[in-house]
Chains A and B, each alone.
Chain A
Amino acid sequence: MRIVRQAVLLLRSELRQELRDFELLLSAGFFTLVLLAMFYLSFASLPVKHSLPAVPAMLWLTIAFVGVLTLTRAFDREREADTLRALLAAPIERLAIYLAKAALCLMVLMLCCLVLVPGLWLMFPAGSAFADQPGQTALLVLLGCGGYVAIGTLFAAGLATGAGKNTLLFIILYPLTTPILMYALATTRALLDHHPDLPSFLGQMAALDLILVALAALLFETVLVGAGPNLSRKPAREGRPVRR
């Protein structure tokens, strides 16, 4: 309960900061629109039977790209002001920091999906199933984005504590999030096909999300601050290359 209260407090602070300049939301929303326009210009002439497998790919590729932008920007703010160290030194649970950051990124991604999903529905006839099943579409997008953000927050936070090199997030995140994105892709295809097993697909995605959130929450503190003093390894001097 204490963790939830702290996470809510931190999330409120994040939202207050975001509401001052809308930087995260505007940059992610604009990027979503740009990607949507690019997909429309590239695939508008596709016949319906070909756009059926293309629409899920467009949806999840956009989320993958916008997700990295969101995660990078969310932690860049901390890096610029060196506030992540302050947060880690504060008397709060580290898990609350993880939950607050993950919730913020999830909210931004969900707001981007408010543009993305209706956009795909309007631009491609194959996307009409999104309008036919709004509840299931919302659940699908929430579960897909949730799994993505669960892993992404862990690694974005880990890179934010280092000096520079946050471009490595692209290298780490895409191989790791591919399983959840593939699952989301298959589930979206089932939704567009009005497949009777859709609830089962959604259940499996929810289970995968739970595993990812649990694993990321378990590793968050260790990844960010380590497990204890390093007695066995002395730091190399500056100017001397560290052998690998």
Chain B
Amino acid sequence: MRKILPDLCLLAAMPLLVYSVHRVFLETPIERQMGTAFKIFFFHVPMGWLCMLMAVICGIAAGVELRRRSALASAVALAAAEMGFITGLGVLLTGPIWGSATWGTPWTGDARQVTTALLWLVIVAYLLLRHYGPRSSDRLAAALAIFGAVNVPIIYYAVKLWKTTHPSTGVVASLPPEMWASFWPGLIALALCSLGLFGLRTRQLVLADELDAAWVRVEDNH
């Protein structure tokens, strides 16, 4: 069951994603103040949440990797960072489009924008270090991931700590019922898609590691 869980997640995500797009664009009423641009919200917010979730998973797995030197934790951290990179890129691309339509400028430099961009940069640095660093740099990359995870609560509370143009943390709870009903299918679809890809990538990394170990064993026997 564990082996096919990522595939099941992806299978479930497909129809849900189609339904979500249909609902957001054809059945959800247009928001009075922001107009059509508000529809970006239904993808921007879930991607932001998923980016933070992936950064936290990456940080926790990196902590386990440092503590126990586990190959599985190392694979989980790398897979989570890769998904964090993709979802973070989604947030950083959709945010300015939405901002341009509603605030009149794509980038106001407010605390949440800056901290999210910083988190994404830390994820990029982590991936560069994992891919191009020397062999001993895995521990260093793990420390970097922990610093990245520490950034997540700062992003979440940025709208409360500093004066920002961003909506507050309670905006999703305050949505009218028809928008609320469109938000959840999108969130679940994107979450299933991300978790499915994350699971597949973790499995692939673990298999690659086992293949390397098997290759070394065969060479040792000869």
- A-side residues, CB < 8 A to B, are 151, 154-155, 158-159, 161-165, 168, 171-172, 174-176, 178-179, 182, 215, 219, 222-224, 226-237, 240, 242-244
Q: Which size class do B's interface residues fall under?
A: 35 or more
Nearest CB in chain A to that of B73: its residue: A232
B71 near A233: Cβ-Cβ < 8 Å = yes
In whole angstroms, how far apart are the Cα atoms of A158 and B72 in the complex?
22
Contact A172 B134, beta carbon cutoff 8 Å: no
Check B216–A162 contact: CB distance below 8 A.
Answer: no
A161 to chain B: closest residue by CB: B136
* A236 and B66 in contact, given A162-B134, A171-B125, A243-B211 (Cβ under 8 angstroms): no
3 closest residue pairs by CB, A with B? A162-B134, A243-B208, A175-B121
Determine if B100 is an interface residue (Cβ-Cβ < 8 Å).
no
Q: 23 A-B residue contacts at CB 8 Å?
A: A151-B147, A155-B143, A158-B140, A159-B137, A162-B136, A163-B134, A164-B134, A171-B125, A175-B118, A176-B147, A219-B66, A222-B139, A223-B66, A223-B139, A226-B66, A228-B68, A232-B69, A232-B70, A232-B71, A233-B209, A233-B213, A234-B212, A237-B219
Q: With contacts A159-B140, A219-B146, A236-B216 known, is A227 near B133, CB below 8 A?
A: no
Q: Using an 8 Å CB-CB cutoff, how does the interface string of B104-148 with A read, 1 for contact, 0 for none?
A: 000000000011001001101100111111111101101110110
**Contact call A182/B114, Cβ cutoff below 8 A:** yes
Number of A-B contacts (CB under 8 A): 121
CA distance A164 to B122 in the complex (A): 21
A-side contacts of B72, CB under 8 Å: 232
In whole angstroms, what is the CA distance A83 to B22 when docked? 64
Q: Is the CB of A240 within 8 A of B71?
A: no
List, in ascending order, chain B residues with CB within 8 A of A159's CB: 133-134, 137, 140
Taking CB atoms, residues of chain A closer than 8 Å to B114 are: 182
Would you call B132 and A162 a contact (CB within 8 A)? no
- Asked if A172 and B212 make an inter-chain contact with CB atoms under 8 angstroms apart, the answer reads no
Q: How far is the CB of B107 from chain A (nearest CB, A)?
A: 15
User: Are A168's CB and B215's CB within 8 A?
Assistant: no
Which residue of A162, A178, A227, A240 contacts B118 across the interface (Cβ within 8 Å)? A178
Taking a contact as CB atoms closer than 8 A, the residue among A151, A182, A227, A237 that contacts B66 in the complex is A227
Assembled-state Cα–Cα distance A163/B70 (Å) = 23
Interface presence of B163 (CB below 8 A): no
Q: Which residue of A lies closest to B126 (CB)?
A: A172
Once bound together, how far apart are the Cα atoms of A227 and B209, in whole Å?
Answer: 20
